[in-house]
Structure 1
Amino acid sequence: MNPLRYTAFPTPNGGGNPAGVVLDASSMDAAEMLSLAGELGYSETAFLFPRTEREYAIRYFSPKAEVDFCGHATVAAAVALAEKQLGAGDVLLSSNVGEIPVAVAVGEHGLRATLTTVTPATAALEALPELCETLGWSAQDLHPTLPHSLAFGGLWHPILWARSRQRLARLDYDFEALRALMLREGWGTVSLLFRDSPALIHSRNAFPIGGVVEDPATGAAAGALGGLLRAADLLPEDGCFTVLQGEDMAQPCLLEVDTSGEGGVRVSGTARSIPAE
């Protein structure tokens, strides 16, 4: 099995979040997929199972476990399909959380994929005090008016807003304690944010359950965030905003989020093939 390697959500100047892609995993079982994801060492690898020419089942594995949904690996897989087999156009991916339509088009910086999440949801973040203690955040570190909440766009993510960009830049938490809390609560990542403006949000996503301290780009969390901001009426007039993630890791990533209309949230970005070493 020769997996493809792509980096998703790069900025025009580089960066991005690496993902593995297997275009036809029909012969693989879960143990083999987990083993391959561990060998690659990326936060997620996408495994595709062809159904029709433009319909696929998709599964995602981190080095530690299967993940029900992953945005950056979805973008990587859709661009890989377009480059290697299908060309630009629409593809329908059936994940563990439901159907994920993806549109791939030729853009200014190469192929650009736009995924649409399942219908988003929000819930109260009952574990906020415990989460803050685990992260080493005090009440003074939290933004006083933005909603600290749970948000869903395929996975549940706690959403915490930092009072300052400087606070967001400091990420030093108890890895095992946060991992245990996330497993107990069923969270996908922990989304830590600073709102520069309604149209520009800086993001960091802790991902210890995936075996890494931080994920450079998290499309699932960006989609969930879009649903939360739509529900809270905190969006620009056109319903669109940009998420900058991975900046503090020297892996800058650019995610464009469109919450206009109803139903799923659209998350867009490019992906580029990583040359073989």
Structure 2
Amino acid sequence: MTTIDAGKALRYAAFSSDPTGGNPAGLVLDATGMSDAAMLAVAAELGYSETAFLTPGDDPAGSRRAFAVRYFSPQAEVPFCGHATIAAAVALGERTGPGELIFATRAGIVPVDVVATPDGSLRATLTSVEPNLTEVPPADVAEALALLRWNAADLDPTLPPRYAYAGAHHLVLAAATRARLADLDYDFDGLADFMRTRDLTTVQLVWRESPDTFHVRDPFPVGGVVEDPATGAAAAAFGHYLRTLGQVPPRATLTLRQGDDLGRPGTLTVELRDGDPRVRVSGVAVAIPEPDPAAGPGSAR
């Protein structure tokens, strides 16, 4: 059975060009033969919100580099992780050049396009699986608010609570003020239990700065992490949320700011296209040098 020392895993920060910003991800670019237990052990030792494990695969179309990808938090496997996808695509692009990739995840097929930017860095764009949106029972809203130590007056009435999916499930709650979003102090174990019973990966907390710019935070207690610093899967789900509720045009480019409250600022770009229900999420990524400056915010509890 193949194992790997966590010290040999790659470390990248996604959605930032600064290794002390964005969301750190662990990467194993060839996990061939690794067991589930070995993957979980590496993810737990790294302590990041997720680590991606790639196994080279075959693309039926023959035109794109293909990989099977699995994602592990320090405590459990998750079906899809956006920031680790962006990080892995940039890491692969640095080694084999820009171009199209195809990631076969447990949530479905996720194409990723890697392009060179004018400054010579690489930028990756993932295309989500087909998203969906469902209403949240009032009792669930009340329970979530209590666990977050929010009340109903803290919510923005123009952005109603919803369960949103684009590869992983998220509860979207919109804060009425930036101050409410900045003050995050929740019941870790209670929210984790709430999320497990509803198959939620994160709670997507948002505040609208302008028609196309949002500040977001993502508690992630089910992964053993207090807060995810930049969350690509939730960003994709949130883009679908906004379009479905008519909060943005069918064709739009949105900016999500995340990580400011953790001292790890990152920027996620969300693109919506006419005639395509899928959501595109873009960002840069950068290798984290040793010794690792990313320990701290976003690490395992």
Report if TM-score (shorter chain) is over 0.5: yes
Aligned residue number for residue 247 of structure 1:
260
Name the stretch that deviates more: 30-39 or 13-22: 13-22
Q: 1:76 aligns with which of 76, 79, 87?
A: 87
Distance 1:196 1:11 in 2: 23
TM-score (norm 1): 0.97
SS in 1 for 2:278: coil
Gaps of 5+ in 1: none
1:154-173 alignment runs, 5 A limit? 154-173=167-186
State whether residues 199 and 236 of structure 1, in contact with CA within 8 Å, keep that contact through their aligned partners in structure 2: no
Establish whether residue 268 from structure 1 lines up as the match of residue 282 from structure 2: yes
Q: 1:106 aligns with which of 96, 111, 116?
A: 116
1:217-268 alpha-carbon deviations (Å, 9 max, x no partner)? 0000000000111111111574111000011000001000001121210000
Q: 1:22 aligns with which of 16, 28, 41?
A: 28
TM-score (norm 2): 0.89
Establish whether residue 123 from structure 1 lines up as the match of residue 125 from structure 2: no
Ranges of 4+ aligned residues in structure 1 off by more than 3 Å? 11-14
Distance 1:200 1:14 in 2: 23
- For 2:27, give the aligned amino acid: V
Establish whether residue 90 from structure 1 lines up as the match of residue 96 from structure 2: no
Aligned residue number for residue 209 of structure 2:
196
- For 1:31, give the aligned amino acid: A
Establish whether residue 60 from structure 1 lines up as the match of residue 71 from structure 2: yes
RMSD: 1.4
SS in 2 for 1:166: helix
SS in 2 for 1:178: helix
State whether residues 239 and 259 of structure 1, in contact with CA within 8 Å, keep that contact through their aligned partners in structure 2: yes
Distance 2:202 2:234 in 1: 7
Establish whether residue 32 from structure 1 lines up as the match of residue 52 from structure 2: no
Paired-residue identity, %: 50
State whether residues 198 and 236 of structure 1, in contact with CA within 8 Å, keep that contact through their aligned partners in structure 2: no
In the TM superposition, residue 275 of structure 1 has moved relative to its aligned partner by 1.1
Aligned residue number for residue 233 of structure 1:
246
Distance 1:237 1:173 in 2: 34
State whether residues 11 and 254 of structure 1, in contact with CA within 8 Å, keep that contact through their aligned partners in structure 2: no
State whether residues 196 and 222 of structure 2, in contact with CA within 8 Å, keep that contact through their aligned partners in structure 1: yes
State whether residues 11 and 252 of structure 1, in contact with CA within 8 Å, keep that contact through their aligned partners in structure 2: no
In the TM superposition, residue 61 of structure 1 has moved relative to its aligned partner by 0.3
Query: Given the superposition, is the C-alpha separation of residues 178 and 273 from structure 1 closer, same or farther in structure 2, using an over 3 Å criterion?
Result: same
Distance 1:24 1:237 in 2: 38
Distance 1:237 1:196 in 2: 20
1:93-152 alpha-carbon deviations (Å, 9 max, x no partner)? 000010000000011451000000001100011211110111111111001221211111
Aligned residue number for residue 179 of structure 1:
192
Number of aligned residue pairs: give it.
276
Aligned residue number for residue 7 of structure 1:
13
Distance 1:13 1:78 in 2: 16
